[in-house]
Structures are given as C-alpha cells and as structure tokens.
Amino acid sequence: QVQLQESGPGLVKPSDTLSLTCAVSDYSISSTNWWGWIRQPPGKGLEWIGYIYYSGNTYYNPSLKSRVTMSVDTSKNQFSLKLSSVTAVDTAVYFCARRATTSSCFDDWGQGTLVTVSA
C-alpha cells in the first residue's frame, strides 16, 4: 500500500513562495503514475493544482500555471511543489496524491498539510 507524506512550512508570508515536498514510500515513484497536488481552502472544495510524471513531464491547472512549478527526485522517491507570489487566498490544506494508472481518479492521498499565508 503506497504511503504519501507532505512536508513543508506551515506559514508563508504574502508574496513569498510556498514550497512543499511529498515523500512516497512502499511504491516506486518511477512507476506509470502521475503524481499530483490538490488543495482545499478551509471550509471549501478541492482544487487540482497539477501533476508530474517521473520523467519530469508536468501538467498544471491553467488558472495557476503562471505561479506553479513541480519537480521530481526519483533518487529520493519524492516530488515537490512550488507556488510563487502567494496571497491569503492560497491558504489551504495541500494534499499530494497518486493518479491511478488506468483511470483519471486519484486513488491514494497524503494526509494533507495546512499552509497559512500571513504576515
């Protein structure tokens, strides 16, 4: 059973860059899966941010594309998210998740980490 674990600062200042990492265990990140980031503002619904393949290919939500960068480190079996120029609206619980191999669903998720944007 794959395990995903997010890590990173819980507080980021406005205009700074949010940086998170997702460590994947009990499963190779080099398998035929895309690895994604999804966020959920407090009391609101889920929003897909984007995902990355082990080769480094990425695909981002068009509404966030200008501020998002994702990367993968196969040697550490982890992938990362950077979101630049954050504001209060970027305050959310950030989840990393695995997209299923043969379906467009996300079949395994990390527990999520709350990132608050505040001075």
Least distance to another protein, CB of residue 119, Å? 26
Measured from the CB atom, the residue of 88 and 100 that comes closer to another protein is 100
Least distance to another protein, CB of residue 46, Å? 4
Least distance to another protein, CB of residue 59, Å? 8
8 Å CB contact between 92 and 42: yes
Measured from the CB atom, the residue of 54 and 106 that comes closer to another protein is 106
Residues that bind another protein (CB under 8 A): 36, 45-48, 59, 61-63, 95, 100, 103-107, 109-112
Least distance to another protein, CB of residue 89, Å? 17
Measured from the CB atom, the residue of 27 and 48 that comes closer to another protein is 48
Q: Provide the strand spans (E) within the chain.
A: 3-7, 11-12, 18-25, 34-40, 47-53, 58-60, 68-73, 78-83, 92-99, 106-109, 113-117
Dihedral of the alpha carbons of 55, 73, 91, 61, in degrees to the nearest 10: 0
